[in-house]
């Protein structure tokens, strides 16, 4: 199979846009959307029969296939709308265990929505959120370990740690991080929003207490498909963000029905997995990784900026700094994104990483070298015209 523009027709992506932001919301292939529409048609043909008699078995089948893909037992995994939904379920369920003066620990690379949820929950019980200051650019995994270890105190009640960070695209050494907390008796929630489909995952052996992951990004499922994995010893105290008919009837029952919704995204996850497997079997991972690293090397060399992370800490996402080391105000982040889109037709996110302005690229099977060359040319143009700083 060839990649790049030769297969872009398998998605609905606008041909006039250079799309370098698969990481934000993914892009669902046409074939998977066809599967989703078929599920929707089956639902609408007889909604009561489908929702009350047929849906549970179909959800079990989809959940079982997803569990196999991520190396888990099906009974330890439930569907949620997105990773943020899963994080809310965990944090709100644990609220009674947090004490005034307690600390919820995360890192400076955390996704904003997750940190905001932590702030909300901490505010309800008089606890506080603590950020371990992980440097960026980063030299090696040991820097992550040292930063996190130095932020742990006797008051640390829960750790929420990224597997692959959203603003920077860095793979954290989560197995070692989990062991660090386990040795101190501190439970760990891993935010794996970007992990399924980017790197191999085996939840049964990872050692986390809780794990959230999206299926709509790198697994090519429709929007609204994600999962929450919970260690068996914690499942009895976990509840979904929406309480419905089956409160108190068990982990699977409570999460299996949270009111009327369109379940077609969940049911289409196996189609997304199959699409991912087909690409992987054809060599997409080697293709995307080489392209990402080549693009990173080329763009940083052209701009004269340092590499942000070593190769072993990257998969299909990468962020790099901009010339002049600009501060990442909200206005500058938005301005840089908008000018790249409006003037150059490039969809790529500007990011605030530890207070500095970065651009984060995603590399997917439908991208090719010319996409990243266009971005490099645009950034050089903006630098020469002094348009990056506003």
Same domain, 192 and 266: yes
Pairing of strands 356-362, 350-353: antiparallel
Note whether residue 24 is domain-resident: no
Same domain, 178 and 303: no
Note whether residue 17 is domain-resident: no
CATH number at residue 45: 3.40.640.10
Same domain, 148 and 201: yes
User: pTM score > 0.85 for this model?
Assistant: yes
d(C-alpha 50, C-alpha 183), whole Å:
47
Last residue of a domain, one of 253, 274, 295: 274
Number of domains, the chain = 2
Residues 6+ apart with CB under 8 A from 109: 134, 136, 162, 165, 166, 167, 168, 170, 172, 353, 354
Residue 202 has pLDDT above 80, yes or no: yes
Residue 317 has pLDDT above 90, yes or no: yes
Q: What's the pLDDT at 387? A: 65
Same domain, 131 and 207: yes
Residue 327 has pLDDT above 90, yes or no: no
Percentages helix, strand, coil for the chain (3-state, rounded to 5) are: 50, 15, 35
Please compute the mean of the pLDDT values over residues 371-382 and round it to a whole number. Answer: 95
Q: Which of 126-140, 200-214, 273-287, 314-328 has the lowest mean pLDDT?
A: 314-328
Rg (CA), the chain: 21
Residue with tokens 């150059």: 344
Q: What's the pLDDT at 21? A: 98
Same domain, 269 and 345: no
Residue 47 has pLDDT above 90, yes or no: yes
Note whether residue 5 is domain-resident: no
Average per-residue pLDDT in the chain? 96
Note whether residue 132 is domain-resident: yes
Q: What's the pLDDT at 323? A: 84
The secondary structure of 202-233 as a DSSP string is -HHHH--SEEEEESSSTT-PPTT-EEEEE-GG
Q: What percent of the chain has pLDDT over 90?
A: 93
Q: What's the pLDDT at 67? A: 98
Please compute the mean of the pLDDT values over residues 167-196 and round it to a whole number. Answer: 98
Q: What's the pLDDT at 383? A: 86
Residue with tokens 């645009």: 378
Model pLDDT for residues 120-142, shown as the tens digit of each residue:
999 999 999 999 999 999 999 99
Same domain, 133 and 262: yes
CATH number at residue 292: 3.90.1150.10
Which range of residues forms the domain containing residue 325? 283-384
Q: What's the pLDDT at 185? A: 97
d(C-alpha 371, C-alpha 40), whole Å:
35
Same domain, 134 and 208: yes
Q: Which two three-digit tokens encode residue 248? A: 């108190």
Residue 83 has pLDDT above 60, yes or no: yes
Last residue of a domain, one of 242, 274, 306: 274
Q: What's the pLDDT at 122? A: 98
Note whether residue 264 is domain-resident: yes
Residue 103 has pLDDT above 90, yes or no: yes
Please compute the mean of the pLDDT values over residues 306-330 and round it to a whole number. Answer: 91
Q: What's the pLDDT at 328? A: 85
Residues 6+ apart with CB under 8 A from 380: 302, 303
Same domain, 361 and 266: no
Residues 6+ apart with CB under 8 A from 53: none
Same domain, 149 and 242: yes
Same domain, 151 and 295: no
Same domain, 106 and 231: yes
Note whether residue 235 is domain-resident: yes
Same domain, 246 and 296: no
Residue 40 has pLDDT above 80, yes or no: yes
Note whether residue 318 is domain-resident: yes
d(C-alpha 20, C-alpha 50), whole Å:
38
Last residue of a domain, one of 240, 274, 308: 274
Note whether residue 349 is domain-resident: yes
Which pLDDT band, with edges at 50, 70 and 90, does 169 fall under? Answer: very high
Q: What's the pLDDT at 37? A: 98
Please compute the mean of the pLDDT values over residues 297-307 and round it to a whole number. Answer: 95
Q: What's the pLDDT at 1? A: 73
Please compute the mean of the pLDDT values over residues 318-338 and round it to a whole number. Answer: 89
Which pLDDT band, with edges at 50, 70 and 90, does 385 fall under? Answer: confident
């Amino acid at each position: 199979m060839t990649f790049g523009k030769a297969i872009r027709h398998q998605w609905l992506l606008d041909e006039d846009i250079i799309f370098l932001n698969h990481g934000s919301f993914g892009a669902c292939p046409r074939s998977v959307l066809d599967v989703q529409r078929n599920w929707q048609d089956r639902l609408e043909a007889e909604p009561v029969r489908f929702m009350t008699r047929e849906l549970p078995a179909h959800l079990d089948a989809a959940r079982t296939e997803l569990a196999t893909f991520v190396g888990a037992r099906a009974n330890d995994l439930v569907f949620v709308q997105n990773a943020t939904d899963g994080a809310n379920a965990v944090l709100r369920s644990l609220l009674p265990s947090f004490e005034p003066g307690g600390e919820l620990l995360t890192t400076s690379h955390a996704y904003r929505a997750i940190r905001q949820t932590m702030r909300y929950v901490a505010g309800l019980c008089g606890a506080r959120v603590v950020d371990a200051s992980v440097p960026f650019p980063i030299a090696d995994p040991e820097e992550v370990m040292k930063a996190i270890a130095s932020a742990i105190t006797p008051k640390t009640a829960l750790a929420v740690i990224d597997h692959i960070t959203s603003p920077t695209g860095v793979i954290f050494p989560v197995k070692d991080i989990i062991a660090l907390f386990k040795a101190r008796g501190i439970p760990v929630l891993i935010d794996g929003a970007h992990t399924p489909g980017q790197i191999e995952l085996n939840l049964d052996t990872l050692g986390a207490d809780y794990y959230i992951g999206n299926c709509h990004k790198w697994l090519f499922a429709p929007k609204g498909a994600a999962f929450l994995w919970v260690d068996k010893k914690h499942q009895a105290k976990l509840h979904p963000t929406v309480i419905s008919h089956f409160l108190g009837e068990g982990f699977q029952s409570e999460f299996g029905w949270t009111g009327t919704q369109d379940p077609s995204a969940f049911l289409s996850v196996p189609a997304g997995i199959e699409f991912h497997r087909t690409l992987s079997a054809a060599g997409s991972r080697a293709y995307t990784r080489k392209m990402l690293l080549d693009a990173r090397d080329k763009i940083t060399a052209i701009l004269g900026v340092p590499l942000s992370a070593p190769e072993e800490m990257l998969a299909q996402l990468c962020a790099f700094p901009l010339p002049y080391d600009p501060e990442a105000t909200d206005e500058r982040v938005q301005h840089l994104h908008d000018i790249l889109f409006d003037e150059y037709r490039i969809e790529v996110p500007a990011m605030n990483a530890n207070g500095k302005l970065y651009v984060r690229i995603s590399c997917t099977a439908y991208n090719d070298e010319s996409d990243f060359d266009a971005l490099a040319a645009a950034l050089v143009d903006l630098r020469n015209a002094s348009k990056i700083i506003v």
